[in-house]
Amino acid sequence: MTPLKQLAARSRLARFALAATAALMATAVQAELNLKKGLPDDPYFYSSGTWDQRYADQWALHAIGFGNDKNGKKLWKNVSKLKQSVVVAVIDTGLDYFHPDFDRQANLWRNTDETENGRDDDGNGFVDDLIGWNFVDRNNNPWDRTGHGTHAAGIIAAATGNGEGVAGMNPMVKIMPLKVLNFLGRGNSSGIAEAIFYAVDNGAQVINLSLGGEYITRAEQMAVQYAVDRNVIVVVASGNTASDTSNYGFAKLDTVITVAATDPNDKRATFSNWGQDVNLSAPGLDVLSLRARRTDFVEISGAENHTPGADFVGPENKYYRASGTSFAAPFVSGAASLLLSANPKLTAAQVTRMLLMSAKDIEVVGWDQLTGYGRLDVAAAMNADPDYETRVRVSTIAPAQVDGAVVVQVSGAADSTDFRKATVELGFGAEPKKWSTVETLSKPVKNGVLANISTSNFNQRGKWSVRVTVVTKRHGEREARGDIDIQ
């Protein structure tokens, strides 16, 4: 970018900053009034267009149920009644624990068994680990020099109701900052694995992993399994390369919650990874959260055509907007922490079921490899049945030979804890006007053949759709779809 273009860009940023200041002054008055109604008084919760966008500044929080409407007010009131603290380990670049919109007294995890005296008082192998650990520099100061971890943590735990900045999700959360990535956002697998073990051994109930790559080591896999075996929920970002999660590190593990990103239109964000491993989706485009001081992680990443400071928000640049599945995952981690705050007796499996089964179905009907079970819905999750789960999925539709005859074989899953029956239907076109039942299942199928469809059913060329529906006894119906081209 030329100096003249840089100057013009900075001039536009300055105008946006002045406009944003005026807008915040106006919304602050409204915010104070809304606090009396049970809603947050954080100005950015109400403002919109601060960086010249056409949606609310905290649209992502609104989208998952924390709006300023009637339903949002009910959710905020329920959250305000929570009393049980929950520890969420954010394994990332660290945390700016002195950020003015982060309540370090209320929301920063403390190791109460350790005293700052140069000794390992609790015998956990880490000296003076009072608030977490820095696995990069091997010391007790997990300070964030990049900003990525602070942004992720702020989504979950930014101070709410303090009349400043943004609203976070859970006022009862305790953030355990574990630094595993350096200034450039790079780390090693041994440090990440060690941080997961540390988080579990020191009381984390939820682990947020907004990191990853194409490979995952044996040590990292063992660390995740260690967490899962000890009833810890592990939430993982699906990745930002618009590629299949089967080739992407932590995201391909079947023991974690893999989260894809959505945009303000409730569609999958174009950069978000996809695949059979995606469980859930959450907002991940233009997410507003905390900015660690003296950081600009999008600039550090080397993004093309990025103007330094373009993502800073607020008169004093204390906030930051960013896109990525890295910032979709913390919404799910925050939601998991809320469920545990509401009911500490829930198991990790129950929390996972509540999150997945309550998601708002978007994109393709039913589970799909773009957004999983759908977009996170916190209000619905808070009221979900912890023991209910239905898994319906079309994995493959392909020709096969059965008993000497050529058929179109449909494979996948049609299973439920509340199973009544399942049907397999066939229709012509991408959106059939008419469906014909080709198979009825009286018993669930966990993973296998759902139907062998005679080729005589395909009486014309073109795209045919298959719909699998699971009918439950008390929880309604769920469906999944697939298609095949007949030439």
> Is there a single domain that holds both residue 159 and residue 206?
yes
For residue 328, tell me if it sits in a domain.
yes
For residue 456, tell me if it sits in a domain.
yes
CATH number of the domain encompassing residue 201: 3.40.50.200
Residue 171 exposed, middle or buried by CB count within 10 Å (0-12, 13-18, 19+):
buried
For residue 14, tell me if it sits in a domain.
no
Q: What is the pLDDT of residue 34?
A: 53
User: If the chain, 487 residues long, is cut into consecutive pieces of 10 residues, what is the mean pLDDT of each piece?
Assistant: 42 47 50 60 96 97 95 94 97 98 97 96 97 98 98 98 95 98 94 98 98 94 98 98 94 97 98 96 98 96 91 96 98 98 98 98 93 97 97 95 95 97 97 96 97 96 97 96 94
Q: Which of 366, 382, 398 is at the close of a domain?
A: 382
> Is there a single domain that holds both residue 310 and residue 405?
no
For residue 3, tell me if it sits in a domain.
no
Q: What is the pLDDT of residue 292?
A: 98
Q: What is the pLDDT of residue 304?
A: 86
CATH number of the domain encompassing residue 424: 2.60.40.10
For residue 159, tell me if it sits in a domain.
yes
- Number of domains observed in the structure of the chain: 2
For residue 272, tell me if it sits in a domain.
yes
Q: What is the pLDDT of residue 119?
A: 97
> Is there a single domain that holds both residue 342 and residue 410?
no
For residue 6, tell me if it sits in a domain.
no
Give, in degrees to the nearest 5, the angle at Cα 377 between 166 and 251. Answer: 90
What is the spatial distance between Cα 128 and Cα 139, in angstroms, rounded to a whole number?
9
pTM attached to this predicted model? 0.91
> Is there a single domain that holds both residue 170 and residue 299?
yes
Q: In b/e form, how buried is each residue of 298-332, taking b as 16+ CB within 10 angstroms?
A: bebeeeeeebeebbbbbeebbbbbbbbbbbbbbbb
Q: What is the pLDDT of residue 305?
A: 87
Q: What is the pLDDT of residue 6?
A: 43
> Is there a single domain that holds both residue 344 and residue 403?
no
Looking only at the bridges linking them, the beta strands covering 257-262 and 280-283 are parallel
> Is there a single domain that holds both residue 312 and residue 450?
no
Q: Which residues are catalytic?
A: 92, 148, 326
User: Which conformational region is residue 145 in: left (phi greater than 0), alpha (psi within -120 to 50 degrees), or beta?
Assistant: alpha
Rg (CA), the chain: 24
Residues 6+ apart with CB under 8 A from 278: 238, 245, 251, 258, 259, 260, 369, 370, 371, 372
Q: Which of 327, 357, 382 is at the close of a domain?
A: 382
Q: Which of 347, 382, 417 is at the close of a domain?
A: 382
Domain that holds residue 463: 390-486
> Is there a single domain that holds both residue 354 and residue 424?
no
